[in-house]
Chains A and B, each alone.
Chain A
């Protein structure tokens, strides 16, 4: 059974760095073609893709947020960590991690975590 769970602070102050952890089970990030993606959704708005890390440690980032994001994995621990620097109230959103199968350059996310709401406020 595949499960993913996001964890991290519910509230961060402007300019702080956000660190989110995705802990998963039921699959391994050492399997060829397996990836984990991060996606966010501001309240009442559309989904926004943030980053992806692949089984071979290739990393991809949103062009608009690239300078602020870092994604990494700890394969034995079944965890993927996303850090976002210089947080702003506009970054208030529910953050999801999702298992992604790589297809060509892209892929599809077949299992998602329940999401964690991060509010940026002083």
Chain B
């Protein structure tokens, strides 16, 4: 069972703003950096956001990340059909001395 909690689903129409929350604790999000991964259907995950709010080269600027206390959020502004995927937050957990992934959020473009 994951220690990072995400809503199971989120949806929006093309062009809308969608946010995904990731709730953790002081031993993970509260003290370590948060990363976000996108997993398109049938594909391996790809890095979407790292160190809380940094975008790797090639990731559109409509994706943004933020962190506040023991929670983090991923925002997608101007939702596009190709954004339909599963999204996972992740962080190191100092108590577990291991990496933890969130429960995952399926984003549907209506």
Main SS at interface, chain B = strand
Q: How many Cβ-Cβ contacts under 8 Å join chain A to chain B?
A: 68
CB–CB A60/B97 < 8 A: yes
Q: Is the interface of A mostly helix, strand, loop or mixed?
A: strand
Please classify how large the interface on chain A is, using the bins under 10, 10 to 19, 20 to 34, 35 or more. 20 to 34
Q: Which of A41-49, A71-79, A84-92 contacts B (4 or more CB under 8 A)?
A: A41-49
Contact with A along B71-97 (1 / 0, CB 8 A): 000000000000000001011101011
On whether the beta carbons of B56 and A104 are closer than 8 Å, the reply is no
- In contact, B98 and A47 (Cβ under 8 angstroms): no
Q: Which residues of B contact A (CB under 8 A)?
A: 2, 32-33, 35, 37, 39, 44-47, 50-51, 56, 88, 90-92, 94, 96-104
Known: A39-B101, A104-B32, A104-B92. 7 other contacts (CB 8 A): A47-B90, A52-B99, A60-B98, A103-B51, A107-B92, A109-B45, A112-B45
A residues neighboring B (CB under 8 Å): 37, 39, 46-49, 52, 60-63, 96, 103-110, 112-115
